Amino acid sequence: MCGYILEGDQPPEKCPVCGADGQLYEGVSKDGAPQPEAATSEQAEMEPVEKKWRCAVCGYIHQDTEPPDMCPVCGSDKSVFEEVGADIPVPGVDPKHIPPPEMIPPLAGPGKAEPGLRPAFTPGGLYQRVVQQMLKHHAHPISVHIPNGVLPVSVVFIVIAALTGFKSLQIAAMCNMIFVVITIPFVVFSGFIEWRNRYQGARTGRFITKIVLAGIVAATCVIVVLWWLAVPDVLESDLPQRLAFIAVNAVMLAAAAVAGFIGGKLVFKD
């Protein structure tokens, strides 16, 4: 169900990560691949040997004779893939695994790593401890669900209120939007921490798109609230202003949805 790997003679009664029943476990080899059927010597000579390749940015595992030209999850270049052997643990399977944040390889261009390392932040400081706790407890995926759950409700309330003139829905939508503005700074900060440390600050097209969309959501949220404070009866004003107000909300919701889709691809790599 979730890819968690346990070493032992018997599977657990319940998966400690997703809670799936032990009957859903299957035997895998030491490098995490399903147990293969024995191949004849002729087949071994004729067929190229498949290997497992891991994206060093997002942890995506690719099984083939060669790594892919581009990671299908984060969009990183082929050069960041590394072969995963039997003695190399597969990241992203162990729920306690957190990539070491002390040293991060700098990137040049879309997903291309340069040799050398640089410190992510001062070791041993308060900031480091905060970041480690945020990564350990998945602060960004948790926090981003708060505005993403409230935004659609607020936009729906705005559309209904614009059509019906229902005052109570206008007030509810306004309160929801103010709440979103309050939560956005922590969501953006936790997202930066996640990108900078867990994904090595990769500047691929998908990460850049997600960052731009996050900026659009943050900016439009503030615009909507300020607009509402300046013109409290905006949903009862002339038609062009109402349509413009609704359009800004629609852009905000669309940007949040696409950013969430990209984030989901990074989490669910299959």
* pLDDT tens figures, 64-99: 888 888 888 888 888 888 887 644 444 433 333 334
Could you tell me if 62 and 68 are in contact, meaning their C-beta atoms sit under 8 angstroms apart?
yes
pLDDT confidence of 111, banded at 50, 70, 90? Answer: very low
Could you tell me if 209 and 261 are in contact, meaning their C-beta atoms sit under 8 angstroms apart?
no
Residue 42 pLDDT: 55
3-state DSSP assignment of residue 173: helix
pLDDT tens per residue, range 222-263 = 999 999 999 998 988 888 999 999 999 999 999 999 999 988
pLDDT confidence of 171, banded at 50, 70, 90? Answer: very high
Which tops the pLDDT comparison, 162 or 92? 162
Which tops the pLDDT comparison, 158 or 104? 158
Question: Once rounded to an integer, what is the mean pLDDT over residues 136-155?
Answer: 90
Could you tell me if 97 and 114 are in contact, meaning their C-beta atoms sit under 8 angstroms apart?
no
Residue 58 pLDDT: 79
Q: How far apart are CA 107 and CA 110, in angstroms?
A: 8
CA 167, 173, 177, 178: dihedral to nearest 10 degrees? 40
Residue 44 pLDDT: 47
pLDDT confidence of 174, banded at 50, 70, 90? Answer: very high
Domain ranges of the chain: 127-267
Residue 41 pLDDT: 53
Task: Phi first, then psi: give them for residue 24, nearest 5 degrees.
Answer: -85, -5
Residue 81 pLDDT: 83
Residue 7 pLDDT: 81
Residue 45 pLDDT: 55
Residues sharing a CB contact under 8 Å with residue 11, sequence separation 6 or more, in sequence order = 22, 23, 25
